[in-house]
Structure 1
């Protein structure tokens, strides 16, 4: 390969092998990134909800894969609707190869009965993808001690922009949620060099349940509970299952998760399986929760990658004007 592909490969290694197949980044604390998980979660909070998620993957590699997501959504009960905004950004390598995505989300909710709500949501997004050429150091620069590369292959690398569309459905009660989401329905072309590299549609199935272990003096005052949940994702030839459990004892939360390829062996080799054990610790209050998790790699890549560090913050609150009104819909349970 020519020197430009060496530079791109360095960036891809920082991003993680999934990106070689134009696949999505992920959060281990997926339940703390509800709008990214499924657009049907839009407006399922109490009223106003802010979330922030940050992830550093494989930190032992130079310029590790960094991901952030910030969102806000609003539960407009009188229209049975939810509105949201979601910003995500990922980058890796010396060239900061990555994507910036800005999206608007909408959902509509209806009650099946007094205990069950169904929500359908959509996500319209605009994406910017590209490479920071100024951050690359290529072979001809090293050979001639120049600050600028004259490699002709570099001119073939172009930043791109495209529209994206996703949709999903969610069913939930006070203690349970389950849904399915379809991301990248239009399968946009991700290639930076003018050829074809479509972003395969991602299908995810996810569910969870909160089980009280000890109730306080009030009816819904759950002092202690456990919350098992899972997410299964399939994108192109790639599939993955995350399954685990969180334990909560007011206000402390802790959890353990397993991530792996559930059906057969990954065709791309063990390096791509990205099997990991995820350990989570956090605090949960009525309107605010924060969590930290660490991915301990158990595939052939082992400890040389440094695993992954992740933090999440959720602020879910009700404006005072709403406290005197009866809620039309149940809030989605938190985990």
Structure 2
């Protein structure tokens, strides 16, 4: 019976993904995957940046969600333009469902005045999804006494694949201390159905708003030009897609190179059902930001009713390398986002 229940849970998760009732991948360190968050962030550092990011979600459940992101972006000051490339690999259920995505971004920097800057961006992606029916188990294969009693139907042994184009756009308005970004993903609402067009299952467009303000509490530059700074940065990110929405609200602190942050994910004033409060997780983050190397780790503590299943929370790791400047240039206004 225990095997039967676990199989039903896994099948439910898989079928939800097939029917596209699940939502986009969510990252707790959303500022450490800026190209995934908004194409307007391409080239936002005004230097060349390469980043590797990985999320391990609910490792103690059979679902086994693992997402890896490799990205690179740079800025061309002569053309006031940023370009970015991102490759994303996502696996669910130990490989039963996998997705590979290749994203290209372009952004352009518009100096509104000496204080305000606007960076619109566009994005085009190629997405390939794969579904392995041979590793799935269905309810008709089980009974209450013997467990698994029959094999997979030969028709179900066929591996399914689906590829499609995905379009997105966004923009960021910012000053030295404040930023506000808006993005729309899957604006072409692509069809993700594995049935070769027999059934249409579109991916709903996702929209997001992100904002924050950096408060500098202490700042000093020594005679050796070493900079000391202590700052706190409250941030939020609100996303909605189809009938689902999500809010990340938290605070980010920095003491010179050392970083720490805490976030809450959920909308407690909104209930999906009368007895189910919209609480998802509490997130803690620690990191270190050098001139060229940045490292970050975060952990999601599940606080929803799913915590009873012993999910093991979620882990995220980030490693970013920023190429040093080749020669001195004029000082350019940069986004005050904490991970930058």
TM-score interval, normalised by the smaller of the two chains: 0.7 to 0.9
Any unmatched runs of 5+ in structure 1? 1-5
Query: Which residue of 262, 269, 282 maps to 1:277?
Result: 282
Corresponding residue for residue 298 of structure 1: 303
Q: Deviations over 1:127-152 (max 9, x none)?
A: 001213454466499536x7xx3343
CA 311–88 in structure 1, closer or farther in 2 if over 3 Å, else same: same
CA 277–33 in structure 1, closer or farther in 2 if over 3 Å, else same: same
Any unmatched runs of 5+ in structure 2? 1-5
Deviates more, 1:162-171 or 1:49-58: 49-58
Hey, what's the Cα distance between the residues in 2 that align with 1:17 and 1:279? 28
Hey, what's the Cα distance between the residues in 2 that align with 1:44 and 1:295? 27
Describe the SS at the equivalent of 1:216. Answer: strand
Hey, what's the Cα distance between the residues in 1 that align with 2:68 and 2:135? 20
The Cα shift of 1:80 comes to 0.7
**Residues paired across the two proteins, number:** 322
Hey, what's the Cα distance between the residues in 1 that align with 2:33 and 2:251? 17
Q: Which has the higher helix share?
A: 1
Instruction: Say whether 1:45 aligns with 2:50.
Output: no
Describe the SS at the equivalent of 2:305. Answer: coil
Hey, what's the Cα distance between the residues in 1 that align with 2:153 and 2:122? 44
Hey, what's the Cα distance between the residues in 2 that align with 1:204 and 1:78? 30
Q: Deviations over 1:152-178 (max 9, x none)?
A: 3454x6210000000001012232221
Deviates more, 1:73-82 or 1:54-63: 54-63
Instruction: Say whether 1:332 aligns with 2:338.
Output: no
Query: Which residue of 164, 167, 173 maps to 2:166?
Result: 164
Corresponding residue for residue 254 of structure 2: 248
TM-score by length of 1: 0.86
Corresponding residue for residue 266 of structure 2: 260
TM-score by length of 2: 0.85
The Cα shift of 1:33 comes to 0.6
Describe the SS at the equivalent of 1:152. Answer: helix
Q: How does 1:7-156 map to 2 (within 5 A)?
A: 10=10, 13=13, 21-62=21-62, 64-136=64-136, 139=141, 142-143=148-149, 149-155=152-158
Hey, what's the Cα distance between the residues in 2 that align with 1:217 and 1:107? 32
The Cα shift of 1:62 comes to 2.1
